[in-house]
């Protein structure tokens, strides 16, 4: 019941996000309307960071306690992380063509994000290949922990190396100029995406729990 309420809340927040992205935020001065893709692109990757952070947490928890709930958390969060990373890459590509003049280029940010996507796709693949639950949990946990090392690389790539991708505007070392309505629209969408993620995660963990129960019985 509480999960369902969360789902409705996430839905409403997404509607609010759409409304502010198109109705409240102004047309950006340099880029024009194409900048509005940011309201999908940035919340997506921030949600993916959160998801992979939870994979790390679940993996450590599983190795330390061997509690199945930790493994379910890691596995469920990984699926959602891959989904949101995919959304980030697709929206970024659509934005890149009119803005940069290319769909894709191998700069540090784009390459490390592609690696992030592949590592966690590999994580899901590995889970699919091992049938025995304890071994599956253990192997996956190792990948879940090692893979997390890539998160700071993705985030700081634009700072550490020369890239085509612009540096961080929010979550950067020093605040960057961003018009207040644009920042507000971004924040609303970030909250909406986080709510949506928590709702999906709760549902996915519930399914995983029922699956585990069915195996045990």
CB of 177 to other proteins, least distance (A): 5
CB of 28 to other proteins, least distance (A): 6
Residue 108 interacts with other proteins (CB under 8 A): yes or no: yes
Confirm if 57 and 108 have CB atoms less than 8 A apart.
Answer: no
Which candidate, 215, 200, 214, 193, places its Cα nearest to that of 76? Answer: 200
Number of residues that bind other proteins (CB under 8 A): 38
The Cα–Cα gap between 171 and 101 comes to 26
Q: Which residue has the tokens 């893979």?
A: 147
Nearer to other proteins, 31 or 121 (CB): 31
Which candidate, 186, 194, 166, 196, places its Cα nearest to that of 39? Answer: 186
CB of 155 to other proteins, least distance (A): 14
Residue 212 interacts with other proteins (CB under 8 A): yes or no: no
Confirm if 107 and 92 have CB atoms less than 8 A apart.
Answer: no
Which candidate, 57, 53, 58, 116, places its Cα nearest to that of 83? Answer: 116
Nearer to other proteins, 42 or 80 (CB): 42
CB of 186 to other proteins, least distance (A): 9
Judged by CB under 8 A, which of 3, 4, 166, 213 binds other proteins?
166
The Cα–Cα gap between 52 and 42 comes to 16
Judged by CB under 8 A, which of 61, 100, 191, 209 binds other proteins?
100
Residue 107 interacts with other proteins (CB under 8 A): yes or no: yes
Residue 182 interacts with other proteins (CB under 8 A): yes or no: yes
The Cα–Cα gap between 61 and 177 comes to 40
CA 139 to the chain's CA centroid: 22
Confirm if 74 and 144 have CB atoms less than 8 A apart.
Answer: yes
Which residues 19-38 are close enough to bind other proteins by CB under 8 A? 26-31, 35, 38
CB of 127 to other proteins, least distance (A): 21
Q: Which residues bind other proteins (CB under 8 A)?
A: 26-31, 35, 38, 98-102, 105, 107-108, 111, 146, 149, 153, 159-164, 166-169, 172, 176-179, 181-183
């Amino acid at each position: 019941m509480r999960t369902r309420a969360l789902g409705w809340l996430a839905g409403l927040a997404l509607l609010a996000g759409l409304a502010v992205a198109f109705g409240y935020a102004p047309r950006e001065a340099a880029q024009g309307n194409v900048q509005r893709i940011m309201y999908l692109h940035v919340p997506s990757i921030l949600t993916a960071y959160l998801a992979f952070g939870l994979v790390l947490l679940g993996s450590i928890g599983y190795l330390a306690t061997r509690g199945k709930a930790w493994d379910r958390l890691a596995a469920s969060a990984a699926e959602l992380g891959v989904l949101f990373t995919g959304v980030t890459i697709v929206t970024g590509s659509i934005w890149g063509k009119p803005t940069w003049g290319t769909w894709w280029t191998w700069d540090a940010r784009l390459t490390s994000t592609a690696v992030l996507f592949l590592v966690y796709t590999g994580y899901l693949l590995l889970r699919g290949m091992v049938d025995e639950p304890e071994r599956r949990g253990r192997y996956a946990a190792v990948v879940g922990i090692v893979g997390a090392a890539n998160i700071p690389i993705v985030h700081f790539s634009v700072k550490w190396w020369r890239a085509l991708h612009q540096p961080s505007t929010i979550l950067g070392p020093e605040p960057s100029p961003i018009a207040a309505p644009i920042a507000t629209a971004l924040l609303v969408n970030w909250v909406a995406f986080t709510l949506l993620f928590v709702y999906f995660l709760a549902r996915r963990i519930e399914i995983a729990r029922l699956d585990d129960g069915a195996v045990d019985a």
